């Protein structure tokens, strides 16, 4: 699955610093002035998965291939962006192409780094960003609604569904709430996605804190967490500056540095896990002497759907999947031990894949 998460925020809140740390590059110029990011930078990031290393060690795999997620560093937003202020609508299309949005809020005080609004108020930052996205959604829907109404009155069933969903989205938007708070029935999910609403995308609020607050956060990040709960979003505390320093260290140096800060792992690992959780994703594995590989699938995916992530022919010709739970694979030291102990299962088309399953697919060509 090709997954993309937009990193969005006001200028100088740490977006590009966070992006640089995520991608372990300096591709995004992290400069102390508005709009230092003009074109969206994209970075393909490996999803941290310690289980994959364990499986590869047991199977003697020559290559380890993790799942990947793409982050897009969007130009800093300002008031009036939906009407063309700053970089205007240039960034909106970039966000629409993504699966989720990570809103970065500045939760640190540093007089050497200017704030475009000349104050430190993460909730106000989030409100400015969300307001601009809501205004863009309102304008988009109100332009479409007249034409859709005409088609709906003419008996077009697709238009009737679209009109119902437009009105469902307009209700919270006109009340100053993002479209994601609307309750959508499963049968409407595809049509809802087709509306391409910026505020319907799953949201992750990233509280960018100072080094001293990296482990437990601070009063400002607590406000962000509270706001996320109110807005049907997830939240995570991270210090972009620390992450940028960690990113250039080797594994041993990383461990030592994290210990001095009282952290068990890089904050980026938590951010990526939260993004997975936000999008309702999980991981299964294929393991052998040639390679050990992690695959990303939605929670609730069936055996054939999981096979289809590897190749569409696998889904079409799916017969069954030889399946071992991760804990059994590890405890019994691999496929042979699991098979001998009766822990390898033959799962048919109705099987709902579990997170951590080790799978081998049998299919017709």
Q: What is the pLDDT of residues 4-43, one digit of tens each?
A: 899 988 877 888 888 888 877 544 444 443 334 445 678 8
In the predicted model, what is the mean pLDDT of residues 95-119?
79
Residue/partner pairs of 173-177 with CB below 8 Å, 24 or more apart: 173/134, 173/137, 173/138, 173/141, 173/199, 174/138, 176/131, 176/134, 177/134, 177/231
What are the boundaries of each domain within the chain? Answer: 4-278, 300-363
φ, ψ (nearest 5 deg) of residue 12: 65, 30
Mean of pLDDT over the chain: 86
Binding-site sequence positions for ATP:
12-17
Encode pLDDT of 191-218 as tens digits. Answer: 999 999 999 999 999 999 998 888 888 9
Which residues are paired to 135 by β-bridges? none
Q: Which pLDDT score is estimated for 34? A: 38
Higher pLDDT, 357 or 278: 357
Binding-site sequence positions:
12-17
Q: Which pLDDT score is estimated for 36? A: 40
Tell me, which fold does domain 300-363 have in CATH? Ubiquitin-like (UB roll) (3.10.20)
CA 3 from chain centre, in angstroms, equals: 7
Higher pLDDT, 339 or 12: 339
Q: Which pLDDT score is estimated for 347? A: 97
Q: Which pLDDT score is estimated for 308? A: 95
Is residue 223 classed as helix, strand or coil in its secondary structure? helix
pLDDT band for position 355 (cuts 50, 70, 90): very high
Tell me, which fold does domain 4-278 have in CATH? Rossmann fold (3.40.50)
The answer to whether 363 and 318 have CB atoms below 8 angstroms apart is yes
pLDDT band for position 113 (cuts 50, 70, 90): low
Asked whether the predicted pLDDT for residue 171 surpasses 90, the reply is: yes
End-to-end CA distance of the chain: 23
Q: Which pLDDT score is estimated for 88? A: 45
In the predicted model, what is the mean pLDDT of residues 107-116?
70
Cα–Cα nearest to 102, from 15, 8, 177:
8
Highest averaged pLDDT of the listed ranges 51-65, 76-90, 243-257: 51-65
In the predicted model, what is the mean pLDDT of residues 344-365?
95
Is pTM, for the whole model, over 0.85? no
Between 55-64, 90-99, 289-298, the lowest mean confidence (pLDDT) is in 90-99
Highest averaged pLDDT of the listed ranges 12-21, 134-143, 323-332: 323-332
Q: Which pLDDT score is estimated for 115? A: 60
The answer to whether 246 and 260 have CB atoms below 8 angstroms apart is no
∠ CA 113-114-116 to the nearest 5 degrees? 145
Token pair of 2, please? 């090709």
Q: Which pLDDT score is estimated for 59? A: 96
């Amino acid at each position: 699955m090709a997954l993309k998460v937009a990193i969005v925020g006001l200028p100088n809140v740490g977006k590009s610093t966070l992006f640089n740390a995520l991608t372990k590059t300096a591709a995004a110029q992290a400069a102390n002035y508005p709009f230092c990011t003009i074109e969206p930078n994209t970075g393909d990031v490996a999803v941290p998965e310690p289980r994959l290393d364990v499986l590869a060690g047991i199977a003697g795999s020559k290559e380890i291939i993790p799942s990947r997620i793409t982050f897009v560093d969007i130009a800093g937003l300002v008031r009036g962006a939906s009407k063309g202020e700053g970089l205007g609508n240039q960034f909106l299309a970039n966000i629409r192409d993504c699966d989720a949005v990570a809103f970065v809020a500045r939760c640190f005080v540093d007089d050497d780094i200017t704030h475009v609004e000349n104050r430190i108020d993460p909730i106000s930052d989030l409100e400015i960003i969300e307001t601009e996205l809501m205004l863009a959604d309102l304008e988009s829907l109100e332009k479409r609604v007249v034409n859709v109404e005409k088609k709906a009155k003419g008996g077009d069933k697709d238009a009737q569904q679209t009109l119902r969903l437009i009105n469902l989205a307009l209700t919270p938007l006109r009340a100053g709430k993002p479209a994601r708070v609307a309750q959508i029935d499963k049968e409407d999910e595809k049509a809802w996605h087709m509306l391409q609403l910026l505020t319907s995308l799953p949201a992750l609020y990233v509280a960018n804190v100072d080094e001293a607050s990296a482990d437990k956060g601070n009063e400002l990040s607590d406000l962000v967490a509270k706001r996320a709960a109110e807005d049907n979003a997830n939240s995570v505390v991270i210090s972009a500056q620390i992450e940028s320093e960690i990113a250039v260290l080797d594994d041993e140096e990383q461990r030592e540095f994290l210990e001095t800060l009282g952290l068990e792992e890089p904050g980026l690992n938590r951010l990526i896990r939260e993004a997975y959780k936000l999008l309702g994703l999980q991981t299964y594995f294929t393991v052998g002497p040639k390679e050990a590989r992690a695959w990303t699938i939605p929670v609730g995916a069936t055996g054939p759907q999981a096979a289809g992530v590897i190749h569409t022919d696998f889904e079409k010709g799916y017969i069954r999947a030889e399946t071992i739970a991760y804990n059994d694979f590890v405890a019994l030291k691999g496929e042979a031990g699991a098979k001998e102990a009766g822990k390898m299962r033959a799962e048919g088309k109705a099987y709902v894949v579990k997170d951590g399953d080790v799978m081998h697919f049998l299919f017709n060509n």
